[in-house]
Structure 1
Amino acid sequence: MEAERESTEPTAVPPSAAVRAVLGDDDLLREILLRLAFPTALVRAAPVSRRWLRHASDPAFLRRFRRLHPPVLLGFYLRELGARAPRFVPVSRAPELAAAAGQFFISDCRNGRLLVTDFDDPTACRHAVLSPLRPGPARGKKAVLPPAPKLSLIWALFEKPAAAGEDDGAVAVLMLPLGTTTKAKLQVDLLASRSGAWVVRQCEVIDLPETLPPIAYTLPPARGKIYSLTKSGRILRLDMTAARSSLLRQPERASTDNLTLSCGEEGSTLFLIHAEGYLLSIWQLPTTSSDADEWALVYDRVHVREACSRREDVMVLAVDDNLEFVFLRLRSSAVLMHLHLKSGSEKVYDELMVRDGRFLDINPFMMVWPPVFPALRDDDNPDG
Structure 2
Amino acid sequence: MGGAETDRGQTTEYPVSSTSPGGRMGGAASDHGQTSADSRAEPAVPEHQRELRARLLPPRRGLQETAPLPIYDELVEEIFLLLPTPTDLIRASAACVSFYRLVARRSFLRRFRKLHAPPLLGFLDHGREFIPAIPPHPSAPAADALALAADFSLSFLTREPYLTPAHYWDIEDVRGGRVLLSRHPFHDLSLAVCDPLHRQYLLLPPIPAFEGWASLYNLRTGWQTFLGDDEEAVEETSFTVVSISQWGNWLGAIMFSSSTGQWRQSPWIGGFAFFNQCRYAYGCFYGLTECRQKLLVLDTWKMEFSLADLPPEARGSSERDVDISFVEAGEGITGMFVHPGNTYSISYLTKRNNGGSSSQWKLEKTIPLDFTGSRFMGSSGMHLLLRCWREFPSPDLGTFTLDIKTFQFERVASQYGAYIYSNFPPSLLSSPTISSGAENEAEEMLEQGGAASSSA
Do they fold alike, i.e. is TM over 0.5? yes
Give distance in 2, aligned partners of 1:50 and 1:382.
12
Aligned to 1:228: 287
Provide, for residues 299-338 of structure 1, a one-character-per-residue CA deviation record: whole Å limited to 9, x for no partner. Answer: x221234x2xxxx132222221x23243232264233231
The 1:259–1:159 alpha-carbon spacing in structure 2 relative to 1, beyond 3 Å, is farther
Give distance in 2, aligned partners of 1:108 and 1:227.
16
Aligned to 1:363: 420
Aligned to 1:146: 204
Contact 2:225 2:243 in 1 (8 A): yes
TM superposition shift of 1:293: 7.3
Give distance in 1, aligned partners of 2:334 and 2:172.
20
Alignment of 1:71-220 (within 5 A): 71=117, 73-79=119-125, 84-90=127-133, 91-94=139-142, 95-96=145-146, 98-100=148-150, 102-103=152-153, 106-116=171-181, 127-130=192-195, 132=197, 140-146=198-204, 149=207, 151=217, 153-159=224-230, 169-175=239-245, 177=247, 186-193=251-258, 199-200=262-263, 202-205=264-267, 207-208=269-270, 211-220=271-280
Contact 1:259 1:272 in 2 (8 A): no
Contact 1:129 1:142 in 2 (8 A): yes
The 1:297–1:253 alpha-carbon spacing in structure 2 relative to 1, beyond 3 Å, is same
Deviates more, 1:32-41 or 1:252-261: 32-41
- The answer to which structure has the higher strand fraction is 1
The 1:336–1:231 alpha-carbon spacing in structure 2 relative to 1, beyond 3 Å, is farther
Q: 1:347 aligns with which of 389, 410, 420?
A: 410
Aligned to 2:347: 281
Give distance in 2, aligned partners of 1:37 and 1:191.
31
TM superposition shift of 1:154: 2.2
Pick the structure with greater CA Rg.
2
TM superposition shift of 1:259: 1.8
Provide, for residues 81-113 of structure 1, a one-character-per-residue CA deviation record: whole Å limited to 9, x for no partner. Answer: xx5223322343123553346126543333343
Letter in 2 for 1:192: S
TM superposition shift of 1:145: 1.8
Residue 319 of structure 1 pairs with residue 379 of structure 2 = yes
Contact 2:374 2:387 in 1 (8 A): yes
3-state secondary structure, aligned to 1:382: helix
Provide, for residues 163-200 of structure 1, a one-character-per-residue CA deviation record: whole Å limited to 9, x for no partner. Answer: 67x985342335464xx8xxx765543222469xx512
C-alpha RMSD over aligned residues: 4.9
Aligned to 1:272: 336
Alignment of 1:38-49 (within 5 A): 38=87, 41=90
Give distance in 2, aligned partners of 1:143 and 1:42.
31
TM superposition shift of 1:76: 1.7
Contact 1:261 1:273 in 2 (8 A): yes
3-state secondary structure, aligned to 1:375: helix
Contact 2:229 2:240 in 1 (8 A): yes
Letter in 2 for 1:382: S
The 1:158–1:273 alpha-carbon spacing in structure 2 relative to 1, beyond 3 Å, is same
User: How many pairs are equivalent?
Assistant: 316
The 1:86–1:283 alpha-carbon spacing in structure 2 relative to 1, beyond 3 Å, is farther
Contact 2:73 2:102 in 1 (8 A): no
The 1:131–1:168 alpha-carbon spacing in structure 2 relative to 1, beyond 3 Å, is farther
Q: 2:360 aligns with which of 277, 294, 305?
A: 294
Alignment of 1:220-259 (within 5 A): 220=280, 222-223=282-283, 225-233=284-292, 234-239=294-299, 245-256=305-316, 257-259=321-323
Contact 2:118 2:176 in 1 (8 A): no
The 1:31–1:85 alpha-carbon spacing in structure 2 relative to 1, beyond 3 Å, is closer
Alignment of 1:32-43 (within 5 A): 34=80, 37-38=86-87, 41=90
Give distance in 2, aligned partners of 1:118 and 1:25.
54
Residue 338 of structure 1 pairs with residue 388 of structure 2 = no
Contact 2:151 2:199 in 1 (8 A): no
The 1:206–1:43 alpha-carbon spacing in structure 2 relative to 1, beyond 3 Å, is farther
Deviates more, 1:273-282 or 1:144-153: 144-153
Give distance in 1, aligned partners of 2:114 and 2:269.
42
The 1:227–1:267 alpha-carbon spacing in structure 2 relative to 1, beyond 3 Å, is farther
Residue 382 of structure 1 pairs with residue 454 of structure 2 = yes
Q: Which runs of 5+ in 1 are unaligned?
A: 1-21, 133-139, 355-359
Contact 2:150 2:199 in 1 (8 A): no
Aligned to 1:9: none
Aligned to 2:55: none
Higher relative contact order (CA 8 A, sep 6+): 1
Give distance in 2, aligned partners of 1:264 and 1:318.
11
The 1:366–1:42 alpha-carbon spacing in structure 2 relative to 1, beyond 3 Å, is same
The 1:41–1:98 alpha-carbon spacing in structure 2 relative to 1, beyond 3 Å, is farther
With structure 1 as the length reference, what TM-score do the two structures score?
Answer: 0.62
